[in-house]
Amino acid sequence: MAPSLSLLLICLLALYTPVTSKKECGRPSLGDGMDLEGLQRVYSPGDAVLLSCKRGYTPTSGSRTIICTASGHWTKSRLKCSTKSCSFPETLDHGDMELVDIVYQSTINYTCHEGYILQGASTIECLYDGQWSDPPPKCTPVICGLPPIPKYGKIVYDTKFTGNITVFGFGGTYECLPPLVLIGNERGSCSANGDWTEPPECKMVTCSAPTDIHNGFMTIHDKREYGFKETVRYGCNVDYVLDGPVEIECLKTGDWSIKPACRAPCKVGITRGRILYNERTFWIKDFEPNKILHAEVISVYCMNKEKKCGYAVSTQCIDGKLKIPECFEEPSDTLDDNSLPAEIAQC
């Protein structure tokens, strides 16, 4: 046997022999967060070991020393190690924080709302000593310069203000020197990208001379150019009905608002029979003048041939057109008036 190998064997025996002959303790099992100095794996009866808590854990109670007994067991320790906590963070103005816990090794992520810039660490961590790794960050507003002012216009700030910088969200209302008209955004503010919103323009607005309408007239015959918000009124000739707004207005765009139209009256196109108009019946030959206005309704009488009874069917005048219902039959001259649909029993 080689001398080196025999030496190794002796060494192994020397290590092994005490374990079998005497009771020994193994490395004690450790609770959460507990620590033990050294890497020793085997202890003899009577050996004492001092337990401690790892970094980031706080000892809470009980004796910390355990002793290896003659039976090869460790005495009980009542030491408990609890995770260290950091202080609860303050909420972040104009921002949000994301956190799950505030114990050792927890992290908090911070973000700022639109228009705000994060100053400081965006992530902080709870350290072993119960302190946050960094102070909480702040969200500071985006800064803009002074707003652009349109020619012949001004801005009235929402709150009094001096200096030459503005902050995100700060704004005002634009105004134009009369009679110029503000075209665009009336409101302006410092936006998230550090620029002011697009300013409006101050423009002269004129609408071309208003035109007549068919079968109607302007109440004031003033054929000139009109300014913004000026109005013109219309009326209709006799028997014509105004359809639409009576007044038009010169708009910002330089166009007039929608003009009204004058709608024509209708003639009731039947030669015999009665009609029902405004809850009264008339023989058509007595209906003088034979005319109803736009949108008015009359009824003519039709015959139900199976039941031999009459019934009224209404129809409306639409801009000079009055459709006589298809069921209406123009009676022949030889037919007795008393047998017309309007005169017989009604269904």
Ligand X SMILES: *[C@@H]1O[C@H](CO)[C@@H](O)[C@H](O)[C@H]1NC(C)=O
Q: Contact positions toward ligand X, by CB under 6 A? A: 98-100, 107, 109, 123, 145, 164
Nearer to ligand X, 39 or 100 (CB): 100
Nearest to 320, CA basis, from 209, 202, 234, 241: 241
DSSP assignment, residue 317?
E
Residue 170: CB atoms within 10 A of its CB come to 19
Nearer to ligand X, 77 or 83 (CB): 83
Nearer to ligand X, 101 or 337 (CB): 101
Nearer to ligand X, 164 or 332 (CB): 164
Q: Are 343 and 337 in contact (CB under 8 A)?
A: yes
Nearer to ligand X, 100 or 220 (CB): 100
Nearer to ligand X, 102 or 313 (CB): 102
| Residue 90 CB, nearest approach to ligand X (Å) | 16
| Residue 109 CB, nearest approach to ligand X (Å) | 4
Residue 1: CB atoms within 10 A of its CB come to 6
Q: Is the peptide bond before 179 cis (omega within 30 degrees of 0)?
A: yes
| Residue 129 CB, nearest approach to ligand X (Å) | 20
| Residue 84 CB, nearest approach to ligand X (Å) | 17
Nearer to ligand X, 137 or 265 (CB): 137
Report residue 54 as tokens. 């790892």
Q: Is the peptide bond before 289 cis (omega within 30 degrees of 0)?
A: yes
Nearest to 325, CA basis, from 294, 296, 302, 295: 302
Report residue 107 as tokens. 């992290």
Euclidean distance between CA atoms 82 and 88, whole angstroms: 17
Sort 161 into a burial class: Cβ within 10 Å, 0-12 / 13-18 / 19+: exposed
| Residue 201 CB, nearest approach to ligand X (Å) | 24
| Residue 193 CB, nearest approach to ligand X (Å) | 16
Nearest to 83, CA basis, from 131, 128, 52, 37: 128
Q: Which residues contact 94 (CB under 8 A, 6 or more apart)?
A: 112, 113, 115, 116, 139, 141
Nearer to ligand X, 97 or 344 (CB): 97
| Residue 154 CB, nearest approach to ligand X (Å) | 19
| Residue 31 CB, nearest approach to ligand X (Å) | 27
